[in-house]
Amino acid sequence: MDLPTPLRRVFAAMPDATLGAFAPGRVNLIGEHTDYSGLPVLPFALPFGVAIAARPRHDDLVCLRHLEPDRFAAAVIPRAELANRPRTGTWVDYVVAGLRCQPPANGVDLLLGADLPIAAGLSSSAALVCAAALLFAPRDVDRLHLAEQCAAAERYVGTEAGGMDQAAALLGQPGHALFLHFRPLRATAVPLPHSAAVVVADSGVRAEKGGVLQAAYNERVHQCRRAASLLGAPAGGLLGDVPTSQWAASAALADPLLRRRAGFVFAEAARTSAAVAALRQGDLPELGRLLTSSHRGLTDDYEVGHPAVDALVRAAHAAGAFGARIVGAGFGGSAIALGTRETAAAIAAAMRAAGAGSTFVAEPSAGACRVAGPDAAPNAG
Ligand code: GLA
């Protein structure tokens, strides 16, 4: 098996590791800001992500180090404190969240490395959580259940996010997008037509999930819950609990802001189902139209757009993309554009000329893996 690059790097730096785990980032084709309303999404896992190498210690400490120590300061946590450790607002919180799902049985040294840009809307934070959770999980762990556990554990960082990112990281399948439903989590793999190319372009505007944008994200979560209750969802219910036949009623919400927010979420959920049909029919122009109307809704109605990402979307259109949109939580981060294998290079070049720091064609890839380290006994892992 070819090890993902960051896993090779952490093993090279910790040759006596007994165990390693890798979890990928994701792009979301469509179904943005729908997961925390209990409505479907359509992401796929990337070939890039976060890796952790582990070796046992003879004490009860969990010692965390990163291959880039200047950006990610080391931490030492007594194992017994994992469960109650207050959050610190650093990368360490995400590792702690993952370890809480499946704690180590002894003290461990952990070494982390990543080849995924941070805060680029590609879900580096959930990759951290999932890699940490998979490290000490039983070999036959139920990944649907683990993804739900990881999503719940990650909320400890303070973002009231849905479960898309963790599910994509743990359930990803090469060549396929995942049509995900929630409560309970269910996944249907939908093949991406071979001719399709999804170009990802990073605007360079950082969108840190745990940073100042957390409040703006959580505000939308709360607005959706308020709209759900006004639309007759049962107590504690979500927009996804409002029957489809009632969706048009969002037009009658008295508060214009809630009306726009709920209207976007219902329209985005409908676009997500339509996108699955378009994928199955290999109808890339239709899929592109859906992406572009998602972008408009995210920008105008949901107000999570950013001018730098808008510029990338416009450039992609001008270069012949079927459609393009801001991806992930928004407020910056990356844009995706849908083209063909033939047009992808020109679309990527146009997006770089419009300000993207980096671009790549995203290949739907396998979900997280756990392997024995270079120093492990045969058959471990
Ligand atoms: C972040 C969250 C996800 C999802 C997206 C927006 O990535 O972690 O749960 O809500 O934003 O679609």
Query: Tens of pLDDT along 68-111?
Result: 999 999 999 999 999 999 999 999 999 999 999 999 999 999 99
Note if 140 is an active site residue.
Answer: no
Residues paired with residue 158 on neighbouring β-strands, in sequence order: none
* CA separation for the pair 271, 146 (Å, rounded): 28
* CA separation for the pair 377, 381 (Å, rounded): 9
Residue 300 has pLDDT above 70, yes or no: yes
Residues paired with residue 320 on neighbouring β-strands, in sequence order: none
Residue 378 has pLDDT above 90, yes or no: no
* CA separation for the pair 138, 227 (Å, rounded): 40
User: What angle is formed at CA 123 by the lines to CA 273 and CA 170, rounded to 5 degrees?
Assistant: 70
pLDDT tier at 206, thresholds 50, 70, 90: confident
The HSE-up count of residue 211 (CA atoms within 13 Å, CB side) is 12
Amino acid identity, position 190:
V
For the chain, what is the mean pLDDT?
95
Overall average pLDDT of the 126-130 stretch: 97
What is the whole-number distance in angstroms between the Cα of residue 179 and the centre of ligand 1? 15
Amino acid identity, position 101:
C
Return the SS3 of 375.
Answer: coil
Instruction: Output the pLDDT for position 1.
Output: 67
From 165, 202, 241, 301, the catalytic residue: 165
Instruction: Output the pLDDT for position 72.
Output: 95
Sequence-distant (6+) residues with CB within 8 A of 20 are 3, 7, 10, 11, 51, 52, 53, 54, 135, 370, 371, 372, 373
Instruction: Output the pLDDT for position 2.
Output: 86
Alpha helices in 297-353 (DSSP H): 307-318, 344-353
Phi, psi dihedrals of residue 113, rounded to the nearest 5°: -155, 155
366 closest CA partner among 26, 20, 52, 10: 26
208 closest CA partner among 125, 277, 126: 125
Nearest atom in ligand 1 to the alpha carbon of residue 33 is 12
How do residues 145-184 score in pLDDT, each as one tens digit? 999 999 999 999 999 999 999 999 999 999 999 999 999 9
Residue 376 has pLDDT above 90, yes or no: no
How do residues 318-355 score in pLDDT, each as one tens digit? 999 999 999 999 999 999 999 999 999 999 999 999 99
* CA separation for the pair 28, 22 (Å, rounded): 19
For residue 266 the two structure tokens come to: 């219902």
Nearest atom in ligand 1 to the alpha carbon of residue 121 is 7
Return the SS3 of 137.
Answer: coil
Residue 379 has pLDDT above 70, yes or no: no
For residue 373 the two structure tokens come to: 């380290």
Residue 210 has pLDDT above 70, yes or no: no
Residue 121 has pLDDT above 90, yes or no: no
The residue to mutate among 29, 39, 156, 164, having the most atoms of ligand 1 within 8 angstroms of its beta carbon, is 164
Going edge to edge, which strands form the sheet with 334-340? Answer: 323-326, 334-340, 196-202, 358-362
* CA separation for the pair 323, 348 (Å, rounded): 13
Residues paired with residue 75 on neighbouring β-strands, in sequence order: 64
Token pair 């122009």 is at which residue?
Answer: 285
Prior bond to 184 cis, omega within 30?
yes
* CA separation for the pair 357, 119 (Å, rounded): 14
DSSP 8-class letter at 181: E
Least confident of 15-19, 88-92, 118-122, 124-128: 118-122
Residue 377 has pLDDT above 70, yes or no: no
Chain CA centroid to CA 37, Å: 16
| Element (DSSP H or E) covering residue 25 | strand 19-28
CB of 45 within 8 A of CB of 169?
A: yes
Overall average pLDDT of the 131-149 stretch: 97
Distance separating the N- and C-terminal Cα atoms of the chain: 14
Residue 380 has pLDDT above 50, yes or no: no
Residue 281 has pLDDT above 50, yes or no: yes
The residue to mutate among 33, 46, 118, 208, having the most atoms of ligand 1 within 8 angstroms of its beta carbon, is 33
Overall average pLDDT of the 306-312 stretch: 97
Instruction: Output the pLDDT for position 381.
Output: 43
Nearest atom in ligand 1 to the alpha carbon of residue 36 is 10
* Ligand 1 interacting residues, C-beta cut-off 6 A: 32-33, 35-36, 123, 161-162, 164-165, 328-329
CB of 179 within 8 A of CB of 276?
A: yes
